[in-house]
A and B are shown apart, each in its own frame.
Chain A
Amino acid sequence: MAIPWEFIIVQTVNGIVTGMILALVASGLTLIFGIMDVVNFAHGELFMLGAYIGVVVSAFSGNFWLALVAAALVVALLGAALQVVTLRPLMGRDPLTTILATFGISLVLQNYALWQFGPIERKIAEPITGQFGLLYLEYPWYRILIAALSAAIIGAFWLFLKYSKYGIWIRATTQDRVMAQAMGIPVPWVHTAVFAIGAAMAAASGVLFGPLAGVEPYMGLAWVLKAFIVVVVGGMGSFGGSIAAAIFISLLESYAAIWVSPSQAIIVSFVVLILTLLFRPTGLFGTASR
């Protein structure tokens, strides 16, 4: 069966666009896991909350960019507060306790959104509405913008991790929490800051994704599920691995969507997950160590 090459090109573009948003969601998740061994089940809700803040701020101000920045900042502060009051006291306990705690937070945030905004989908207006001819279809520029912005945020964060003083603190804490403390690094605050940064990245992706689909209280679930798959396939806690895995999985899903419906294409990510767990449990892209 011959597949028209135009299909493949369009699906490649689609795969990269979703892959970049997914990478932004997953990199926050992997960062939090890598540094404090916390599996953050509330990550999808931080994404959702970011999207709602985007809805509200862009509705009031009419400015998408302001909404993006506001959502990231507000959710970062919320993340910091959540970390201080719920996760910090659980430091050093059984990982199950943090899983339950973050799961609890996710339920609270979901129901808060339901109570505050109702079950009906909201929309965020796209900041740019232009389209360009991509072979047989008119492709929205906004999608390209999302991919570029996600890449820019991830790139900026990577530079921060690599070169800044706080980046070195974060990497040192990820590798050896106790020794980091003995070197004068305020480890509890590094944890809080990383949680806040991860939350801000989730919120930013929520706003960026907002114009593509509706914003509703349960939107985080699908994303966090996929982000978890990405984190596992990328090698738990590996930053570069998650980004590679996000793009890899999104591309596979896009190509699968050539044959089956997009909702069935999700199966591909589960197949990849299961194969990874069976044959390479340390992840396809990450190294065994962090």
Chain B
Amino acid sequence: MSAPPPSADPLVKVEDVHAYYGKSHVLHGVGLTVGRGEVVGLLGRNGVGKSTTLKSIIGLVHVRQGRVLYEGKTVTGVAAHKLARIGIAYVPEDRRIFRLLTVTENLRTGLDRAGMSERRRRELLEKVYAIFPILAERRSQPGGTLSGGEQQMLAIARAMMLEPKIILLDEPTEGLMPRMVSQIRQIIELLRRERVAILLVEQNVPLTLGCSQRVYFMEKGEIRHEAIASEIGADDPIVHRYLGV
């Protein structure tokens, strides 16, 4: 096992987190870190607790034991809306676009924050419309009428409205056409250049290894392995061990 350099001042640090859905114990002491501006992949088979790990960071799942640190402060138990306002954005697996809200209104949900000047709002909107021209075209259309790929872009664009320091990105390429997948990849690269940290949960191994600096492998609600992404290939025995069928 290669030992990645420990991040001295991680943006997010998850320590021994245990979480439950009802009575079933889903996370058994998860621990991971994400540095500032770092893209970290989280790999593992279905149902090992990857999505739950993301939810426990943003406060959508109750953390029964352990803690989550953000910028060095414990944020376990802090309401999701407060975390969103201090820079943790979440793009869920099923995208969860506000279907009856127009594209612009979807974006405004993250834009109408305290301390945002009218000018800053316009700049941010123009910025994402420049990155995602298709959203600009559909700005007055209800979110529910967009295609799957467009909805995924809207979900990412909406998260960007929060000007986050980290985006928790859950299966962004699930069910998308190859052309869309490469677009998602470009967006991840772009966010990385802008020094936005990303914790990426993905089934697409080559994409994850290509975008991430480090990757974690999860199994049965625990982190089992950690590696530098560039040091392993998609057919590495480690990948087979944790993802092979």
A169 to B112, CA, bound (A): 9
Please tell me if the beta carbons of B81 and A178 are within 8 angstroms of each other in the complex.
no
Q: Is B196 interfacial (CB 8 A cutoff)?
A: no
Take A178-B60, A183-B84 as given contacts and tell me if A171 and B101 are in contact as well, using a CB distance cutoff of 8 Å. Answer: yes
Q: Which residue of A lies closest to B99 (CB)?
A: A175
- The number of residues on chain A lying at the interface, defined by a beta carbon within 8 Å of a beta carbon of chain B, is 20
Q: Is B232 interfacial (CB 8 A cutoff)?
A: no
Contact flags B121-161 to A (C-beta < 8 A → 1, else 0): 00000000000000000000000000000000000001001
Q: Is B190 interfacial (CB 8 A cutoff)?
A: no
Give the secondary structure class of A's interface: helix
A183 to B164, CA, bound (A): 11
Q: Is B90 interfacial (CB 8 A cutoff)?
A: yes
Q: Is B96 interfacial (CB 8 A cutoff)?
A: yes
Q: Which residue of A lies closest to B106 (CB)?
A: A172
Q: Is A84 interfacial (CB 8 A cutoff)?
A: no
Q: Is B192 interfacial (CB 8 A cutoff)?
A: no
Q: Is B242 interfacial (CB 8 A cutoff)?
A: no
A186 to B109, CA, bound (A): 11
Please tell me if the beta carbons of A181 and B60 are within 8 angstroms of each other in the complex.
yes
Q: Is B31 interfacial (CB 8 A cutoff)?
A: no
Collect the chain A residues with CB atoms within 8 Å of residue B96's CB: 176, 178-179
Docked complex: A169-191 residues within 8 A CB-CB of B: 169, 171-172, 175-176, 178-188
Docked complex: B86-131 residues within 8 A CB-CB of A: 89-90, 92, 96, 98-101, 105-106, 108-110, 112-113
Please tell me if the beta carbons of A182 and B80 are within 8 angstroms of each other in the complex.
yes
A43 to B76, CA, bound (A): 37
Residues of A within 8 A of B (CB): 165, 168-169, 171-172, 175-176, 178-188, 289-290
8 closest A-B pairs by beta carbon, nearest first, are A184-B84, A165-B112, A179-B96, A181-B80, A182-B90, A183-B109, A184-B85, A183-B110
